[in-house]
Amino acid sequence: MKFLLTMHMNPEVWAALSEETRESVMAGHGEFIAKIRASGEMISTQALGAPADSAVVRVRGGVPVVTDGPYLESKEFLAGFYLVECESRDRALEVAAMIPDAGVEGMGIEVRPVVFFAGAEPGTEPG
């Protein structure tokens, strides 16, 4: 079963952490990635840019309308994700608990089952 483990960022929470804690969280991601690659559960991971760098596209009357900035005004934003394949929901919850952000007060990991997965065509995977 595939699961999307999403990391949501609240810049105020992040800024309130000590430099040591922030460095520990960032370094912990490398260790986590190595662990779940070794277990064969890693499919993909991506860190996302800041909401200020995003754009929202809506088509109105057949014409694309582009608005700079985030889709929703919110304190928290989607900062990145891990796409994993686990034998069960319980295992996905265990894996999510290993992500460093899960151990930081005011942060957490959302675990959602993937109900459709197209994947890359053979031979087209990114290098």
Looking at the whole model, is its pTM more than 0.85? Answer: no
Q: Which CATH superfamily is domain 2-113 in?
A: Dimeric alpha+beta barrel (3.30.70.1060)
Tens-place pLDDT, residues 17-43: 999 999 999 999 999 999 999 999 999
Residues 6+ apart with CB under 8 A from 13: 104, 105, 106, 107
The CA distances from residue 52 to 14, 23, 49, 69, in Å, are: 17, 23, 8, 5
Question: 78 falls in which pLDDT band (50, 70, 90)?
Answer: confident
